[in-house]
Structure 1
């Protein structure tokens, strides 16, 4: 009986990790966030059991590590995009240049705000 419950948890977690992997590869951050709670619950349930399947646990651990690496990569990508967008916003406000003597000069950006009305 306990073995069947353990097998069900392992299978559910394995399926969830594959779903999470697909979501990570497709950039579906909303789907990933919906899986977190279920994944934590399944891992907690599995930790409470004494397992007779170390091979299955090792496979799950490998998938968890793979997904963590994908998630880390996705987060780094988001950080890079955020930094790039911040740099573009900065250039729109002002641009810093340096002359041949190494003195810094700031060129203020011009933001033109106008509303065009069409009939």
Structure 2
């Protein structure tokens, strides 16, 4: 493979990594998914190149690590929000109280919409 092809792949991967970073910072999850396919294809092309400039490879590795850290933090934030939403749903469906001895007691707060008829 020629050096021109190698620099084209490196340049394209660099562009994708920058777009991925921007998508991560802006919270654009759809763009991240679309860029993943491009990134995987370019990494596959990069893996078959015979000669790669060490500095260019080092720069790409740094950007990939940076984006992975951003992605890890975004996932942690999503998990945190999911946990908070689950806690809020629990609060709406039950009420936890404590007696004078510190014993926890849950009171079910669901609405009973059935109608009871008595004679």
Aligned residues: 113
Structure 2 unmatched ranges of 5 or more: 114-119
Q: Which has the larger radius of gyration?
A: 2
Runs in 1 of length 4+ with deviation above 4 angstroms?
Answer: 110-113
TM-score scaled by length of structure 2 = 0.88
Alpha-carbon RMSD across the aligned residues, in angstroms, is 1.6
Distance in 2 between the 1:6 and 1:39 partners?
15
In structure 1, the partner of 2:117 is none
In structure 2, the partner of 1:80 is 80
Offset of 1:107 from its aligned partner? 2.2
In structure 2, the partner of 1:92 is 92
- The 5 Å alignment of 1:37-48 reads 37-48=37-48
Task: Give the secondary structure class of the aligned counterpart of 1:101.
Answer: coil
Distance in 2 between the 1:80 and 1:112 partners?
32
Q: Does 1:19 align with 2:19?
A: yes
Structure 1 unmatched ranges of 5 or more: 114-119
